[in-house]
Chain A
Amino acid sequence: MSHVDENSAQKKGALLKRGDYLVLLACVIAIPLLFSRYGVVGSEGTQARINAGAREFALVSLQKNQTYHVPGPLGDSEIEVRDGRIRFVRSPCAGQQCVHSGWAHRGGEFIACVPNRVSLVVLGQGAGGTYYDSINF
């Protein structure tokens, strides 16, 4: 391939170079693919699965109001089910972002306490259903 002289788009000081447009194009293509693969908003969930590390800790009904203590490497994460919703009430982690994530109730909604390795996912009709929540570093 012969080297083309630096054209106007490549001019020094230009905001975007030609390669940058390739990156932007890749983003524009990737975004809908990612959402179609991983992100569909689900219907109201009926159950939730609580995981501790790689293991399933419990499969719980969202119809039954109850509090669960889930052991992790840092201590117990306290998870509460109330009125068809589920949340982290207390966590031994430093960031507390699992607690700040608040309630989850739609199918596919997922909250994780990464440091304590405890996560929960709401199961609803059509298991792929998803609503975004936050990840806790």
Chain B
Amino acid sequence: MISIPTTRDDHRIAGLAALAIAIHWLESAFPSPLPGVKPGLANVVTLVVLLRYGWSAAAWVTILRIVGGSVLLGTFLSPAFLLSCSGAVAALAALGLGDRWSRAVPSWSLGPVGLSISAAVAHMGGQFYAAYRFFVPHEGLFHLLPILLVVAMLFGAVSGLVAHAVIKNLEISSS
């Protein structure tokens, strides 16, 4: 039997990704307030991982969530999957930039709420770009952009607030 050596970090990432997939899956069962838009509560897990274990752990959890989630929901390699990937790449880039910014300028560092809003807006932007570039290359799509971005800001803020509460509780329970 072949066994691949795993580290504690691998186990932690796997466990957190499983949690994110579960949230992702549960969320998909609820009707959306605006067709095609989801609150993205699984991103709470990404944020908590980013702030506690760093960007690469957060990137791993996100990639595993998207692939695992899409296999569960039956959207793997479908247009929805492509949109999801574009959004995730943009969101991870935004989180990476935010993380660097916080290190470079600690007195103006970003907390979960700022990071979450940036990531949500980037996610929507990435998805929107992919939809425009690959599926519906029509300027009419831009008429949807303001409302989509405002919804992204709101949902991003909500996820950020939840992440803040989670981190606070983790700090209390681990100290």
Contacts and interface: CB of A to CB of B under 8 A. Distances in A.
Q: Are A and B co-members of a single complex?
A: yes
Interface of A: 3-4, 6-7, 10, 13-24, 27, 30-31, 34-35, 37-39, 51, 53-54, 94-95, 97, 100-101, 108-110, 112, 114-115, 117, 119, 121, 130-137
A133 B34 CA distance: 9
A112 B145 contact: no
B35 A100 contact: yes
B135 interface: yes
Contacts of A20: 110-111, 113-114
Contacts, number: 145
B117 A135 contact: no
B9 interface: no
B168 interface: yes
A17 B80 contact: no
Nearest to A74: B79
20 contacts: A6-B106, A16-B114, A17-B111, A19-B101, A20-B110, A24-B114, A24-B117, A27-B117, A27-B121, A34-B145, A53-B137, A54-B138, A95-B36, A112-B135, A112-B136, A114-B136, A132-B143, A132-B144, A133-B144, A137-B80
Contacts of A7: 107
Contact of B110 (A23, A34, A114): A23
A23 B36 contact: no
Interface residues on B, range: 35 or more
Given A54-B137, A119-B138, A135-B35, A19 B144 contact: no
Given A38-B145, A115-B78, A135-B36, 7 more contacts: A18-B107, A20-B113, A23-B117, A34-B149, A54-B137, A97-B35, A134-B34
A39 to B, nearest CB: 5
Closest 7 pairs (CB-CB, A-B):
A20-B114, A121-B140, A97-B35, A19-B110, A134-B35, A17-B111, A23-B114
Contact of A22 (B37, B75, B80, B114): B114
Interface in B119-168: 121, 127, 131, 135-138, 140-150, 153, 161, 164, 168
